[in-house]
């Protein structure tokens, strides 16, 4: 057995030695503390102090004691790579058990599996659609009540004076909703905060984010997003739908719920990372589809985020789930709205109908649109930069749940106050037409038969505000209203994203963009008052919305398709694409996309599409971890237990080698075995000696591994007696006998390509005698990235 060290640079977690972590937060790479620099020499090999067993769902502590484990200040830096995340194993473990099962299965059996996959995708679609429907109706009811109460109150006090009471009422109602949502998220399930899109991106990329696809997360997410939207925050309910769809998929496809301790004995074949990840991608697509009524956009989103596993049948299934999801939502919402059969609510956000005639564009408008794209990119980069610093601040100072809830309450109160102030001081009165589509028109100080235009933007759910900006008659808003609204909402939305509430950033982005886009339209029209082309500011609102959203999230193809589908009009394909492209190019020049920023700040080992272009001079020998802990094909139980118990390593994959007996030749690689497999073997005491004595005992089957998936017990919970320690374990049957390998001279891009294309977790590096000399894992590859000054190497740290 080789020795058990790993080339790694790290930071402790505060309570251990205080190397880093206390007092000196790492910001932006400028203040790397001394111990760090000493330890991070890429050549130095040393034993490391205290590592948890990372792979084995380390939430026992964090769930039971979410507060005590946290240090006061967490060192944070986007130049770190956390060791707490593990890879998903997208590569099938082809051991003898697996192969035997596959070989036993008939053609019919595979066909049944295929049908099950379709059934699961149908279920995912239906459930996701129902959840979306539930969220939509609840938000509508709650927000409706709230706005009705406040409207009546305002109307009462407008005449008699004392509108400050209305303000207080509004603020209190908002805070009440946000309090409930905030407490749930901060105390019960912090992973449910935000939109969940960064987490799902990571999951689809192949990173196992703890607790991200649990039932509890789903509950908190759904209730949390209802509270946030009803609480009047500058948030949308669309992002969380994507997360919800993913959780639904992960749950349904496994045919059981570990949280509820129910096993339906269904879909057992799908209990492994490979299948689960495929279904989660379907769930994410179904979520996008329900959120925007964009089934094709959903599929493209899933592809964009995790396409190392693209396959025609899979894509078609994902599309099926998406279609079912949007149809379910549409069907039930149309019943709810009392118009069954009228399928006009394909998504949570409905852009309303853009008729081609009224809002056709001409090709000489394209440069204008691109200019707006550039503005969107600039504003997006500003948004992201502000949010970046805010997030750093939050990580450093606002990490206690009570502080997080208080911040959320503060934002809720400020949002209400600002909105009220804006409405109060606005004197943009518009006539209330007979067929007005304002839900809660506030008269306030306007003349009779008129309403306050600022209130249509602020005193409404964001979805409705977006629709008003797209479709209200020209002249419904005056430019000052729009300008002020853009300004205030921009900062409110920026402050809100990252709070400990469930909330998406799509709708606020669209709203900001629609406001300044409409403003652009109005200004253009005022320059050329005779031309009918600029007549409809709704068109410019749409383009502005696309530009702003593109500038913030920087998605490409999928966002184009989502926008086109949400618009319901294919004609807008070209301008939307040009706008998104410009916004991305301009934005990328200054700052990354919002989701990427948050992923980086979480120090997730995210693999991009390709290795950095300038990394051809690196070879597998340089990037791999070595020396590697290997096991013999027949290994002593004690050795295995010791290795697994050794908290100073976080090894999850162990090459299995075979030694030629009575020879000094070096050992050859013959397989790869995972920690989780060894744990199951130890738990079932699959020892050579016991097998001989208990011949009648049933053989270990794949089912035993599947039953333990995905929450394998930690090694500490398995008792191995002193006698048993002397037994031997034969790994032949259980190891993956044909792991992928690369020679040590392989260039980094080549290693990266293999790793990424196959979704690997461990890649064994061998010499030309087939001896193990290293192991490449996700972190070894994610470490290298292209910074502004060429290739940079991130530090590994246990944050």
Q: Where are the alpha helices (DSSP H) in 307-435?
A: 312-336, 366-397, 401-425
Compute the least distance from the CB of residue 475 to its own copies, in Å.
Answer: 26
**How open is the CA angle 769-771-775, to the nearest 5 degrees?**
135
Compute the least distance from the CB of residue 668 to its own copies, in Å.
Answer: 5
Compute the least distance from the CB of residue 367 to its own copies, in Å.
Answer: 13
What's the burial of 388, exposed, middle or buried (CB within 10 Å: 0-12/13-18/19+)? buried
**How open is the CA angle 739-745-746, to the nearest 5 degrees?**
60
Q: How far apart are CA 148 and CA 142, in angstroms?
A: 10
**Which is closer to its own copies, CB of 99 or CB of 688?**
99
Among residues 106, 53, 607, which one has the least CA distance to residue 61? 53
Compute the least distance from the CB of residue 342 to its own copies, in Å.
Answer: 8
**Which is closer to its own copies, CB of 148 or CB of 311?**
311
* Residue 638 in tokens: 């004690």
**Which is closer to its own copies, CB of 199 or CB of 560?**
560
Q: How far apart are CA 131 and CA 223, in angstroms?
A: 11
**Which is closer to its own copies, CB of 107 or CB of 719?**
107
**Which is closer to its own copies, CB of 345 or CB of 456?**
345
**Which is closer to its own copies, CB of 66 or CB of 573?**
573
Dihedrals phi, psi of 262, to nearest 5 degrees: -120, 130
Q: How far apart are CA 243 and CA 502, in angstroms?
A: 10
**How open is the CA angle 228-232-233, to the nearest 5 degrees?**
60
Compute the least distance from the CB of residue 228 to its own copies, in Å.
Answer: 29
Among residues 778, 761, 781, 738, which one has the least CA distance to residue 89? 761
Within 13 A of 202's CA, how many CA atoms are on the CB side?
A: 28
**Which is closer to its own copies, CB of 143 or CB of 563?**
563
**Which is closer to its own copies, CB of 359 or CB of 409?**
359
**Which is closer to its own copies, CB of 122 or CB of 240?**
122
Collect all residues with Cβ–Cβ distance below 8 Å to 298 and sequence separation of at least 6: 284, 285, 286, 287, 288, 289, 292, 318, 322, 325, 562
Compute the least distance from the CB of residue 560 to its own copies, in Å.
Answer: 7
Compute the least distance from the CB of residue 308 to its own copies, in Å.
Answer: 8
| Cα 151 → chain centroid | 37
Compute the least distance from the CB of residue 484 to its own copies, in Å.
Answer: 34
Long-range (24+ apart) CB contacts under 8 A made by 707-710 are 707/271, 708/676, 708/679, 708/680, 708/683, 709/271, 709/272, 709/676, 710/57, 710/271, 710/273, 710/276
**Which is closer to its own copies, CB of 24 or CB of 571?**
571
**Diameter of the chain by CA atoms?**
101
Compute the least distance from the CB of residue 575 to its own copies, in Å.
Answer: 10
Compute the least distance from the CB of residue 141 to its own copies, in Å.
Answer: 25
Rg (C-alpha) for the chain, rounded Å, is 28
Q: How far apart are CA 551 and CA 576, in angstroms?
A: 12
Q: How far apart are CA 113 and CA 255, in angstroms?
A: 14
Compute the least distance from the CB of residue 248 to its own copies, in Å.
Answer: 20
**Which is closer to its own copies, CB of 83 or CB of 300?**
300
Q: How far apart are CA 241 and CA 218, in angstroms?
A: 10
């Amino acid at each position: 057995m080789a020795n058990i060290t790993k080339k790694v640079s790290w930071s402790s977690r505060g309570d251990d030695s205080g190397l880093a972590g206390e007092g000196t937060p790492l910001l932006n790479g400028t203040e790397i503390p001394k111990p760090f620099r000493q330890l991070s020499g890429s050549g130095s090999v040393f034993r490391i102090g205290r590592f948890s067993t990372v792979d084995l769902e380390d939430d026992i502590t964090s769930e039971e004691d979410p507060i005590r484990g946290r240090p006061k200040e967490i060192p944070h830096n986007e130049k770190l790579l956390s060791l707490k995340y593990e890879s998903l194993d997208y590569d099938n473990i082809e051991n003898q058990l697996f192969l035997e099962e596959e070989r036993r299965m008939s053609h019919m059996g595979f066909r049944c599996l295929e049908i099950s996959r379709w059934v699961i995708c149908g279920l995912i679609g239906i459930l996701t659609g129902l959840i979306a429907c539930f969220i939509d109706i609840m938000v509508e009811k709650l927000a409706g009540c709230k706005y009705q109460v406040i409207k009546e109150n305002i109307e009462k006090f407008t005449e008699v004076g004392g509108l400050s009471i209305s303000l207080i009422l509004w603020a209190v109602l908002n805070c009440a909703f946000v309090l409930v949502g905030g407490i749930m998220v901060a105390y019960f399930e912090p992973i449910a905060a935000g939109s969940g899109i960064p987490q799902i991106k990571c999951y689809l990329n192949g990173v196992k984010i703890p607790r991200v696809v649990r039932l509890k997360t789903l509950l908190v997410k759904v209730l949390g997003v209802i509270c946030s939207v009803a609480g009047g925050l500058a948030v949308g309910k669309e992002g969380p739908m994507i997360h919800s769809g993913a959780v639904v998929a992960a749950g349904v496809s496994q045919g059981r719920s570990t949280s509820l301790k129910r096993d339906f004995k269904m879909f057992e074949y799908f209990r492994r990372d490979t299948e689960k990840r495929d279904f989660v991608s379907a769930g994410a697509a179904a979520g996008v589809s329900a959120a925007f009524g964009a089934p094709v956009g959903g599929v493209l989103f899933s592809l964009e985020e995790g396409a190392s596993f693209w396959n025609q049948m899979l894509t078609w299934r994902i599309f099926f789930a998406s279609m079912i999801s949007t149809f379910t939502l549409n069907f039930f919402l149309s019943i709810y709205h009392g118009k069954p059969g009228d399928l006009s609510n394909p998504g949570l956000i409905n852009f309303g109908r853009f008729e081609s005639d009224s809002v056709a564009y001409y090709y000489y408008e394209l440069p204008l649109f691109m200019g707006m794209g550039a503005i969107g990119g600039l504003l997006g980069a500003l948004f992201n930069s502000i949010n970046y610093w805010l997030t750093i601040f939050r990580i450093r100072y606002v990490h206690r749940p009570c502080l997080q809830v208080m911040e959320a309450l503060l934002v809720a109160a400020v949002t209400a106050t600002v909105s009220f102030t804006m409405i109060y001081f606005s004197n943009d009165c518009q006539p209330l037409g007979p067929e007005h589509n304002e839900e809660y028109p506030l008269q306030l100080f306007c003349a009779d038969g008129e309403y306050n235009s600022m209130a249509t933007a602020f005193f409404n759910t964001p979805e409705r505000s977006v629709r008003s900006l797209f479709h209200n008659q020209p002249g419904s808003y005056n430019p000052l209203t729009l300008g002020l609204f853009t300004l205030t909402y921009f900062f409110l939305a920026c402050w809100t994203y990252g709070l400990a509430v469930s909330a998406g950033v799509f709708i606020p982005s669209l709203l900001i963009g629609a406001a300044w886009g409409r403003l652009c339209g109005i200004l253009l029209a005022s320059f050329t008052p005779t031309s009918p082309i600029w007549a409809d500011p709704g068109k410019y609102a749409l383009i502005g919305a696309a530009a702003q959203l593109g500038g913030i999230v920087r998605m490409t193809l999928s966002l184009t398709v989502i926008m086109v589908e949400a618009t319901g009009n294919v004609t807008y394909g070209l301008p939307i694409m040009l706008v998104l492209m410009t916004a991305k190019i301009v934005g990328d020049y200054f700052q990354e996309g919002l989701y990427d920023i948050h992923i980086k700040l979480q120090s997730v080992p995210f693999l991009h599409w390709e290795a950095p272009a300038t990394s051809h001079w690196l070879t597998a020998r340089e990037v791999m971890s070595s020396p590697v802990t290997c096991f013999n094909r027949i290994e002593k139980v004690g050795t295995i237990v010791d290795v697994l118990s050794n908290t100073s390593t976080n090894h999850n994959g162990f090459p299995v080698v075979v030694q030629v007996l009575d020879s000094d030749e070096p050992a050859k690689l013959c397989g790869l075995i995972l920690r989780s497999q060894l744990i199951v073997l130890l738990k079932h005491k699959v020892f050579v000696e016991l097998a001989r004595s208990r011949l009648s005992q049933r053989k270990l089957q794949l089912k035993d591994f599947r039953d333990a998936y995905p929450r394998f017990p930690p090694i500490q919970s398995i008792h191995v007696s002193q006698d048993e320690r002397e037994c031997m374990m034969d790994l032949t049957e259980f190891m993956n006998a044909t792991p992928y390998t690369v020679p040590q001279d392989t260039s980094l891009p080549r290693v990266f390509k293999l790793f990424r294309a196959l979704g690997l977790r461990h890649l064994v590096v061998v010499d030309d005698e087939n001896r193990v000399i290293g192991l490449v894992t996700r972190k070894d590859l994610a470490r290298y990235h292209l910074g502004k000054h060429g290739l940079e190497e991130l530090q590994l740290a246990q944050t």
